[in-house]
Structure 1
């Protein structure tokens, strides 16, 4: 009996990182669609083309709800769910509600939190203090202003201009809020892709490496690309995501 084409080509849901938007997946999404996959690239509230909604009350749970609603309103099933950077917080929290709709979760140089942890817990006191000072001095005390594309490893002039024209501010509260239960994220079949050099703290990478050694449903890969690999190395990212379908 031949394989069911629908099961062979599951949908992808690509979740962006901090200060980005669904726009950052443009090249990867195009490549995946060309091979027959449905692709969703939701933009979280207050970011990207939804920057007009930016306000001090937006927290991590708002973004978790954004992702859950995408699955519910689009009736997404059997998806490969991909998180980049801060998106790992959102995906880990959302899996408590949508794990049954997800075939596999992929963390692309993304945060991998335990229950109750915040971004600030994961990045350490010094980096958290820098974000707080930046918000205080340049973000009215409640948002982290846009960063230059070079912060994410984007150095090609054309790519940098494209990224810089779209980067937006990040609500500070999203980095301060603790994530809810992440038990299902830690038990779900998954893949972790470390971009070398990674912008993540070593202990986050060690968590993924250690899980890989004990969990046969979780794989670990190294990609020699910058943190914004979906911009600087879209073909390589696409290949790894397609491999995740059958992992």
Structure 2
């Protein structure tokens, strides 16, 4: 992406210096009280305190909800392009839990009430849901941590798509997740969005980072 002329802020991708406290070196700050709202404010704080403008923010998976909430709060218009990468394209009043089964949502609510965290998906499911195998799993397994139920239960507090900016939905074509297929179709029907696909599984940025970078550069 840098070869294409972009200024890349890798700190925003890892979570290590963006205020995200669910991943990376900041995980020790995680607690059951922290969720979607805290993570969205972390994005906005990162942009403000580093004086970043005209930002292309790429949100993956759960991060789509974070991006939607951040767009609502982006009063200074620092985000010029919101790119949802195989992500939850949440609208006003929606949450990640809202597209899950009743059984999963009940478990999230019980965890919220008892102050517990949501554990990661079992490793044996990663190949099917994320495309993760071999060395990728070995690297990720000790680094994938529990998350607060508030990440999934908190709802977007406004219309994230009301402002004039660029919006893209990019689906990972090898991922059969019905939710992301639906978001792609909804984006194709939404004149505010450009809709595209990248040839890879859900975690394509891990499995084929060059292909991912090329796809983001093309969409930008």
Contact 2:69 2:160 in 1 (8 A): no
* Bigger Cα displacement from structure 2, 109-118 vs 91-100: 91-100
Q: C-alpha deviations, 1:132-157, integer Å up to 9, x for none? A: 67x59xxx752111334542434432
CA shift, 1:122, in A, is 2.4
- More helix, by proportion: 1
Separation in structure 2 between the aligned mates of residue 234 and residue 185 of structure 1, nearest angstrom: 32
* Structure 1 equivalent of residue 159 of structure 2: 182
CA shift, 1:9, in A, is 2.7
Q: C-alpha deviations, 1:154-191, integer Å up to 9, x for none? A: 44321111111211110111111112113336863121
CA gap 1:226/1:155 in 2 versus in 1, 3 angstroms: same
SS of 2:170's equivalent?
Answer: strand
* Structure 2 equivalent of residue 144 of structure 1: 118
CA gap 1:231/1:145 in 2 versus in 1, 3 angstroms: same
Q: Tell me the C-alpha RMSD between the 2 structures.
A: 3.0
* Structure 2 equivalent of residue 111 of structure 1: 88
> What runs of 5+ residues in structure 1 fail to find an aligned partner?
1-7, 24-40
Q: C-alpha deviations, 1:80-130, integer Å up to 9, x for none? A: 110000101111111123372122111110001111111110234244346
Q: TM-score, normalised by structure 2?
A: 0.81
CA shift, 1:213, in A, is 3.4
Separation in structure 2 between the aligned mates of residue 124 and residue 68 of structure 1, nearest angstrom: 31
CA shift, 1:66, in A, is 0.7
* Structure 2 equivalent of residue 158 of structure 1: 135
Among residues 79, 90, 102, which one is paired with 1:102 in the alignment?
A: 79
> What runs of 5+ residues in structure 2 fail to find an aligned partner?
none
Separation in structure 2 between the aligned mates of residue 10 and residue 185 of structure 1, nearest angstrom: 26
SS of 2:196's equivalent?
Answer: strand
CA gap 1:233/1:177 in 2 versus in 1, 3 angstroms: same
CA gap 1:176/1:10 in 2 versus in 1, 3 angstroms: same
Question: Size of the alignment, in residue pairs?
Answer: 213
